[in-house]
Amino acid sequence: MEAENQQVKEMLQPLLDTENGFVKELERFLSQRDVTELRRRELLHKRWTERVWFPLQRRVEEQASSCSRAEAKRRQSLYSHYLHHCNTKGFAFLETYDLKEYNPFLLSIKQPHHFKVIFM
């Protein structure tokens, strides 16, 4: 019985070695792929920052610095009013509206459209 167990272990040992090598290779491949994916995302973010964010930020700063002090005060009051409205109402979107407060279809219902056809 011991001899048979020893023979079975000797026959299975190459298979176990191959399996262990395969698992190690697979783990190495997956970790390398994760590192590559992380690097790709970093490069994509860097490219987006350079091509989109920095020019957009520069334009906003130019617009903010180009307006007069009175205009800046007016914009600031408009923005604070908008934020106050959003905080009190909970929403300020065109898709969602309160019919008690505003009915967008009211004007189109009261004013029927008339077309005049002229034949030449």
Neighbours of 105 (CB within 10 A): 8
Does this model's pTM top 0.85? My answer is: no
Domains in the chain: boundaries: 2-85
Over residues 80-106, the pLDDT tens digits come to 887 787 777 666 565 666 667 666 566
> Residue 118: what pLDDT?
72
Rounded Cα distance between 50 and 56, Å, is: 10
Rounded Cα distance between 18 and 71, Å, is: 74
CA atoms within 13 A on the CB side of 80: 6
- The ranges of the chain with pLDDT < 70 are 89-99, 101-117, 120
